[in-house]
Amino acid sequence: MKNSLRTRLYLGFSFAILLVIGGGVFTYITFKKQRSQAEWVEQSYEVITTAQRINKYIYEIESAGTAYRNTHEFKYLDPYFDIRPKILPAFYDLRKRVMDNASQLKRTIAIEKELIGILNYWEGLGVRHDTSFVFSHAMEITKEERAMLEKIHNDFQDMIVEERLLLANRNGANIENVEVAFTALILNTAFILLVAIILMTISFREFNIRFKAQKELQVKLEETETLNQNANANNWLLTGMSLINESLQGDAVIDTLAYKNLQALVNYLDLPGGAFYCYDVDNKLLKLCAGKGLPATVKKFYALNEGITGEAATHKELTVVKDILASYWRLESATGNNTPGIVICLPLWHDNDLVGLIELVSFTPLSERAMELLRNTAHATAVAVNAAASRKKVLELLTRVQDQKEILETQQEELRQSNEELTRQSEILQASEEELRVQEEELRQVNDEISVQNKALEMARQELSKKAEELEQSSTYKSEFLANMSHELRTPLNSVLILARLLEENKEQNLSPKQMEYASIIHKSGSDLLKLINDILDLSKIEAGKVEMNIEPVAVRSITSDLEQLFHVVADEKHINFITNIDPAVPAMIQTDGQRLEQVIKNLLSNAFKFTPKDGTIELAWTLHPDGLHIAVSDTGTGIPADKQQLIFEAFRQADGSTSRKYGGTGLGLSISKELMKRLGGEIRLFSTEGHGSTFTIVMQTGTNAVSNASPAPAIVKEAPVVVREVAPPEEQLVDDDRNALGKQDKLILIVEDDANFASILRDFARQKGFKTIVALNGNDGLFFARKFLPAAIILDMNLPLIDGSSILKILKNNEELKHILVHVVSAGEISLQVRDKVEGYTQKPLQVTDLESVFNGISSQLEARLKKVLVISDGVLLHHPFLQSLSDERQLQTQYHLVKTLGEAALELQSHQYDGIVLDAGTDISESIARLNQLKQISTARDVPVIVYLDHDISEADELALKKNAAAIVRNSTFSGDRLMDELELFLYKLTASDSQKPSDRAPKTERNLDGLKVLLADDDMRNVFSLSALLAGHGMDVVTAADGKEALERLEENPDIRLVLMDIMMPEMDGYEAMRHIRANPRYQNLPVIALTAKAMAGDREKCIAAGASDYIAKPIDSSKLLSLMHVWMV
């Protein structure tokens, strides 16, 4: 069979090789023949191409000759001279290609003769210098030439047609050869595949037969081997179970049983070590009972779910852990140590109760039969352990019962003795009860007498409480009456003061000097009366409990510095030695209301200066004592008699109460100070000797409990919406106004004031300032006129009939058409911070003429600053009008934009209109943008207009410096570039508002006039602070340069070397005030430049940190304008 298979394979492979060789030879012959045929096809194409090219040459020469004869211009013969040399070489090439074709060769010889004839003919015509013959016989020459050429063209056409027929035949033959070769290749390949398939079929069939026989033999061998293995495994398993069961027999204790069982398992399974844990049900712990090959550091106890052992105990199946760490289990001997490879944990369960766990270790994995042995013996081991544990428990119970029996006998003997003792004590108790019964009767009589006395005391206490309530209510009524009356007095006093001041000024020059003197006296008396009303109001507020205390950390040195500046001038004028002293033990910061404390000290110092004669001494001393902080004001004045020292703290009382007293005053100052200190949790003590001066001492605590009596800050309550019925028009006009004479261009002010006299005064002042006015005497009318006329501004009183000022203000700010109206509050009472945030200005009655001037000047300035014009120079890609206008509307900027595309348009706009700012789109060519910016600043009308450059890509530092020479700011295109652009515009508009504000009047103090022309750098990131401070400084003649952070402040300082003073905010982005001041002081040019630090709140150590960073001085927010100007004047002097 083997020889037959080999022979068949040899024959098959030989036949396949012969087929491959034959197919290859046939394919080679076919491809060679096809290549030859392709060469003939290519030759036909070349013959056709050459013939067509020669024929084209002849056509071109014919056209050139015809054009020459028709136009008589020699230039038309240029193609003839160019083509003439090419014809014969091309013809000889054609004749060479048709040498194999007799008919084509014959036709070629004939064409050659005709071609030589026409060339000679043309040559005969062309060499003549006398062209008159050619031109005169043009028709004959053309006919003669056409006859010869037509014969040549026809011969060429016949040649091309014959060659194309020949080409078609050759292509057909070539295609036929390709088809024959393709057919032969397919047939040869098919025969080869058929032979290969036959050979593969024969081979696979023979191999399958042999493989099947071999597989059947292998299966029989495996079955035999399996039977042998199963028999051996069963024998091994039975032997092991027998050994283990023998180790469990007997009545041994658990530890012995565990050791014998563990030893049997380790020996039979040939393991290096193991441990047997018994489960303690009471403590819920696995306790080590036996071990073999254990390390010295083995753990004796395991809780359930603790480690591998505790976790395996909770399962009812065998647990195998591989690749254990060396730190878990280590086997040691005298010759060395090693770590086992696996750990096997076998939990022992009996009737769903855990009784123990066997832990075995091995260097190699256990076989499946070893695992089966462990599983089969687990139940028997658990039963044996449970039986041993039960035996142990029974023995323990028997021992415990015997012990308890002995204890019970002892307790019975003790109980008998206790019963005898109780019997004896019961007899003693009966005697004591008899004595207590007698004492209880005596106490009952005493209680009746005390009850009668208590009733009498309760009636007296209730009577006293009622009197105290009546007294407190009477005091409250008095304080509320005084508070309300003081407000009511302000309204008529308001008109008196203003009219008296107007009469005193005598602008119309129609009063005599005596009448002007009377007016001055009236004004002075009214002012004194106003001061008295203010004192009464303060006292009544305190007594009525309406004073809110603002408890916060207050700097002691700041208060002392303020008082020194305030009373320094008074001391110099009166030639009094004014001394301040702060003991080092006094803390730098105290918890109190700084404003109220400063008010009390100021009042004490005012009294001291009033009663101290020339060349006297006044001292303000801060010391720390066990009972608190002492603030003592001592003077060397007249002193106070002992019998008057308590009297001076009462309202309207003085030490000298006679009608001929030397010193004036209301006598309310000390009363107010005393009540304020009570509210602050302190007191005022007095020590005085008549003729030797006085010492008033404020005693207060300094810790967190210092102001426990102070009122807590009022809770912020969300404002309820104001519901107003439909406003009806006013019935009559009580004060004449301009409602019937309004024009479209008039600036209209609505005056809402219930006092007709004061409303008339406001109306007259408004008319003097160029405003038209409408007067409303109640809130209902005011709201009606606001909706009807939409005034530019409203002067609003808060205490109005029908609808009060607060309600009107809420309605205005919640109405889209009215919320932009400028509102200035003029009212007798104080307004809350919430109301102040909603209005543009606030002035408290009564008003002086200067106050009215300030009110209307402020309204005029704010109205003028409302709308600012900005010129935008851009092609409209980056910056366009709707984009900028929408950003301005979001910021509520009163801004109008005008867009131009070229510098020429911008020049025309700047010449014909006034603009407050310019935004220049730099575009892609930065060099051109720098040149445009320089040209823009050359325009006279644009020199003082700030320019913001808008970039859409990064530029070099040199280009940026070139732009900054003429640009006020550079904004790069980014996600937040719109906000950045609006920030810069908003800053410029605030600067413009400040520069347009009113200059200081001639009545300004000398210290303020000295600041005129001073250039100040103001660095603050809060635009509201920039606006208010810029307006304040510009109003006193100063030139203000602003910066939004410390880095920009340093840049502005370099750009403006003539800056003479810096106001530096501390908390700013990018670079804070501390770092900016350190940079300034690091430059030798600015060593002596005054820098005043501005902080939001005076915290402990702030002043020292500012001075250490380089500040010349320090002032805390909110900033008092007079203090700031005085501080600036001190540093400039």
Can you tell me the mean pLDDT for 378-400?
82
Out of 54-58, 522-526, 527-531, 624-628, least confident range: 527-531
What average pLDDT does this structure show over 802-813?
A: 84
Q: What is the CATH number of the domain that holds 307?
A: 3.30.450.40
* Residue 846 one-letter amino acid: P
- Read off the tokens for 355: 């009784």
- 857 and 928 inside one domain: no
Claim to verify: residue 972 and residue 1009 sit in the same structural domain: no
240: Cβ–Cβ under 8 A, 6 or more apart, which residues?
268, 269, 373, 377
For 543, list phi and psi in degrees, rounded to 5.
-65, -35
pLDDT of residue 409: 79
CATH number at residue 683: 3.30.565.10
Query: Is the alpha carbon torsion for 925, 931, 937, 941 positive or negative?
Result: negative
Same domain, 824 and 972: no
Flag whether 810 is in a domain: yes
Each residue of 529-571: pLDDT tens digit? 766 666 666 666 666 565 667 788 888 888 888 888 878 877 8
How many Å apart are CA 795 and CA 780, to the nearest integer? Answer: 15
Is the link from the previous residue into 846 a cis peptide, with omega within 30 of 0?
yes
Task: Note whether 973 and 1046 are same-domain residues.
Answer: no
What's the pLDDT at 542?
A: 64
Residue 1041 lies in a domain: yes
Angle formed at CA 893 by CA 892 and CA 897, multiple of 5 degrees:
130
- Better-predicted residue by pLDDT, 502 or 898: 898
pLDDT confidence of 776, banded at 50, 70, 90? very high
**For residue range 326-336, what is the model confidence (pLDDT) as tens digits?**
556 666 655 55
DSSP 644: G
Q: 700-709 pLDDT, tens per residue? A: 887 544 444 4
Of 864, 899, 928, the residue at which a domain comes to its end is 864
Is residue 1107 in some structural domain? Answer: yes
Q: Which domain, by its residues, includes 943? A: 867-993
Report, as an integer, the average pLDDT of 348-376: 84
Task: Report the distance separating Cα 339 and Cα 903, nearest Å.
Answer: 89
Mean pLDDT of 1092-1106: 69
Q: What is the mean pLDDT of the chain?
A: 76
pLDDT of residue 774: 92
Taking only the tens place, the pLDDT of each residue in 1005-1040 is 333 446 788 899 999 887 767 766 887 788 788 889
pLDDT of amino acid 406:
81
Give the domain-ending residue among 836, 864, 892.
864
Q: Which of 344, 358, 345, 343 is nearest to 279 (CA)?
A: 358
Apex 903 CA angle, 898 and 905, nearest 5: 50
Does some domain include residue 767?
yes
Closest CA to 753 of 744, 740, 766: 766
| Domain identity same for 859 and 874 | no
Q: Give ∠ CA 1080-1084-1089 in degrees, rounded to 5.
A: 55
Residue 734 is predicted with a pLDDT of 77
Q: HSE (CB half, 13 Å, CA atoms) of 865? A: 23
Question: CATH code at 1065?
Answer: 3.40.50.2300
User: Are residue 964 and residue 860 in the same domain, yes or no?
Assistant: no
Q: Measured between alpha carbons, how far is residue 992 from residues 862, 945, 995 in Å?
A: 11, 10, 5
Q: What pLDDT, on a 0 to 100 scale, did the predictor assign at position 705?
A: 47
Residue 1059 lies in a domain: yes
Task: Name the H helices within 710-792.
Answer: 756-768, 779-789
The 10 Å Cβ neighbour count of residue 1067 is 13
Residue closest to 1110 by CA, chosen among 1126, 1084, 1087: 1087
Q: Are strands 331-332 and 337-338 parallel, antiparallel or unpaired?
A: antiparallel
Contact criterion met (CB below 8 Å) for 302 and 310: yes
Q: How far apart are CA 503 and CA 490, in angstroms?
A: 20
Other Cβ atoms within 10 Å of 1111 Cβ, number: 25
pLDDT category at 1076 given cuts 50, 70, 90 is very high
Could you tell me if residue 714 is inside a domain? no
Of the residues 700, 717, 735, which one is the last residue of a structural domain?
Answer: 700
H/E element, 407: helix 368-505
Three-class SS state of 687 = strand
Residues 43 and 184 in one domain: yes
pLDDT at 1063 over 60: yes
The SS3 of residue 240 is helix
Rounded Cα gap, residues 812 and 791, in angstroms = 12
The structural domain count of the chain equals 6
Instruction: Reply yes or no on whether the pLDDT at 779 is more than 80.
Output: yes
d(CA 1087, CA 225): 105
- Residue tagged 């195998």 (tokens): 320
* Angle of CA points 397, 402, 403, to nearest 5°: 95
pLDDT at 1129: 77
Residues 910 and 983 grouped into a single domain? yes
At residue 479, the pLDDT reads 60
Please say if the pLDDT value at position 1 is more than 70: no
Instruction: Return the minimum-mean-pLDDT range out of 207-211, 302-306, 361-365, 482-486.
Output: 482-486
In terms of domains, do 942 and 849 share one? Answer: no
C-beta neighbour count of 533 within 10 angstroms: 20
What pLDDT band is residue 973 in, cutting at 50, 70 and 90?
Answer: low
Residue 881 lies in a domain: yes
The pLDDT tens digits for 849-905 are: 777 887 888 787 777 656 677 888 887 655 555 666 666 666 656 677 788 888 888
- Report the phi/psi class of residue 687: left, alpha or beta, with left for phi > 0 and alpha for psi in -120 to 50: beta
Same domain, 1042 and 1079: yes
Cα(1062)–Cα(1065) distance, integer angstroms:
10
pLDDT digits (tens, 9 = 90+) for 120-162: 777 666 544 445 555 556 666 777 677 777 777 777 777 777 7
Predicted pLDDT of residue 532 = 64
Distance CA 116, CA 713 (A): 128
Distance CA 124, CA 106 (A): 28
Question: d(Cα 1110, Cα 1129) in Å, to the nearest integer?
Answer: 19
Q: d(Cα 562, Cα 557) in Å, to the nearest integer? A: 8
Give the per-residue pLDDT at 725. Answer: 44
| Percent of residues, the chain, with pLDDT higher than 70 | 76
Higher pLDDT, 1097 or 1095: 1095
| Separation of first and last alpha carbons in the chain | 132
List C-alpha distances in Å: 943 to 87, 543, 913, 935, 1038.
Answer: 82, 62, 14, 10, 20
- The first and second tokens of residue 1052, run together, are 């502005």
pLDDT at 514 over 70: yes
131 and 186 in one domain? yes
- Tell me whether residue 374 is in a domain: no
For residues 399, 401, 405 and 410, what is the CA-based torsion angle, rounded to 10 degrees?
Answer: 70
Model pLDDT, residue 306: 85
Among the ranges given (164-168, 610-614, 655-659, 1120-1124), the one the predictor scored with the smallest mean pLDDT: 655-659
* pLDDT of amino acid 1010: 60
Helix/strand/coil for 656 = coil
Q: Quote the pLDDT of residue 1017.
A: 93
**Together in a domain, 661 and 805:** no
Helices and strands (H, E) in the chain, number of each type: 28, 30
